[in-house]
A and B are shown apart, each in its own frame.
Chain A
Amino acid sequence: MAFLALDGLCASYGGAKDVLSDVTLNFAKGEVVGLIGPSGSGKSSLLRALVGLLKPRAGQVTLGGEAVDYGSRQSLRAARDRFAIVFQQYNLFQNMTALRNVAIAPTLVKKRKAAEVEAEARSLLTKVGLGEKFNAYPDELSGGQQQRVAIARALALHPDILLLDEVTSALDPELVGEVLDTIRALHAEGITMLIVSHEMAFIREVATTVVFMDQGRVVEVGPPAQIFDAPQSPRLRDFTARILRH
């Protein structure tokens, strides 16, 4: 049975046009899913919809066998408890140090012991290569460092599914590598991930499944080899042809 199932998901930002229309997908535990597609194809919206930042208009999300009701505060809380999202613009809390950014949600929201959380936050930050930056504020860190703090912050929540929303798009080219290395290390640990990215080579390397979206719809789903080397739909063929030309 699918660990995360999306069935006929539709969502819009209040306008007439749906940013997600009839999205149906199934993912197993431990899968690393690459979401690709042109800008505005609904990849980021899909991640936002999963954590309830964009309220689905229709359709069903099932997580670990339980249906998520985005209209119910309790159900949404339970779902958010199992997801963690990393944003394109990092979205670190500007008024807190790196350590506090990582430790605050587990302490305040999950009510875990402060000392235990802090020790874990330190080890997570060390793991993403920021062992010397515990007390730095976000504006004292480079984009790549901030994004790695954001990843550590997401990991501290022990999510069942990690959502990565174009985590390297806002970074300078020379900083992309360090963030991708961090994600590679997570991949090795077998964390379930949904990765929205324009880094095609990276997606090909880490993804077990690739989803190609266009205009809010899922156009093609398959293993990387199929998506990149033998695309079935004309739309994807067109997309990969243009990407590979670069």
Chain B
Amino acid sequence: MWDQVVEEAPRFFGYYNLIFIGEALVNTLLLSWIGATVGFGFGFLFAICRHPRLFGLLPLRILATLYVELFRRIPFLVKLMCVFFAFQLSGAQASLFTIALVTVVLSAAAFAAEIARAGLESIPAPQWDAAEAMNFGRWRTLWRVVAPQSFRIVLPPLFGYTVGFIKSTSIASQIGVMELTYAAKILNTRGFSALLCFGTILLLYFLICWPTKHFGERLERRLARR
């Protein structure tokens, strides 16, 4: 088998294949980074909607809770199919990439909301009391006092999930989104050995995930020092 890999390697790492894999890599990166960033933004908003000291509106809180609880409990593939058919039913023209991106955002938002909620709730009530008694108002309290403190608590799990999302994007290959996993499948069907195809993307996934985790840890240490 090793002989076969050595024999195929020059052809596999040829110009056109590298472009092909490079494009797939960019798609995986875009899916995970845009998905995670936008998703986390929405997640933070959901967490704010659910916070009793920030929003008195009960319907909004129930809605946000419902969304978070539901979307955290559906497998990624099922979410992907739901979004896929929702787009079909609505008749909207959307690329497979867009569908995958929307799914990642919806999913990331639910998980990030839960992390952010835990982070906000970990800040003791007296911090709110002190700010409130000094006329801060709730939004200023959130922005100046509570959010900066919870950020440090939220960061490690947030980066942990980001690595999870990067891996989840491989499921988008199931509907034919041209990302790393799908690219490997295609190269495999073109006759390249599985070891070479999947070995390559394995390495690439690791090269994305590892620095992400590393960056998270560094940020965490920097914030710990303030």
Contact = CB atoms under 8 A, between A and B. Distances in A.
A157 B135 CA distance: 11
B72 to A, nearest CB: 29
A80 B133 contact: yes
Contact of A105 (B135, B149, B226): B135
B144 A137 contact: no
A108 interface: yes
B145 A51 contact: no
Contact of A94 (B127, B129, B134, B135): B127
A81 B132 CA distance: 11
B135 A81 contact: yes
Interface residues of A, number: 23
A77 interface: yes
Interface string B116-138: 00000000001101111111100
A109 B135 contact: yes
Contact of A95 (B130, B135, B145): B145
B136 A95 contact: no
A53 B226 CA distance: 31
Main secondary structure of the interface of B (DSSP, over half): helix
A91 B136 contact: no
For B126, B127, B134, B135, which residue has the most chain A Cβ atoms within 10 angstroms? B134
Nearest to B152: A95
B164 interface: no
Contacts of A94: 127, 149
Interface in A50-85: 51-53, 77, 80-81, 83-85
Interface string A83-98: 1110101011111000
B124 to A, nearest CB: 9
Contact of B135 (A77, A87, A91, A137): A77
A109 B145 CA distance: 14
Given A87-B126, A108-B140, A93 B131 contact: yes
Contacts of B135: 77, 80-81, 105, 109
A121 interface: no
A80 B134 CA distance: 7
Contacts of B144: 93, 104, 108
Given A104-B144, A108-B140, A137-B226, A91 B134 contact: no
Contacts of A48: 129
Contacts of A93: 127, 130-131, 144-145
Given A93-B145, A104-B144, A109 B129 contact: no
Contact of B133 (A53, A89, A95, A104): A53
A108 B144 CA distance: 10
Contacts of A81: 135
Contacts of A84: 133-134
B148 interface: yes
Interface in A28-58: 48, 51-53
Contacts of A95: 145, 148-149, 226
Contacts of B136: 105, 108-109
Given A93-B131, A95-B145, 16 more contacts: A51-B133, A52-B133, A53-B129, A80-B135, A83-B133, A85-B133, A87-B126, A87-B130, A89-B126, A91-B127, A91-B129, A93-B127, A95-B149, A95-B226, A109-B135, A109-B136
Interface of B: 126-127, 129-136, 140, 144-145, 148-149, 226
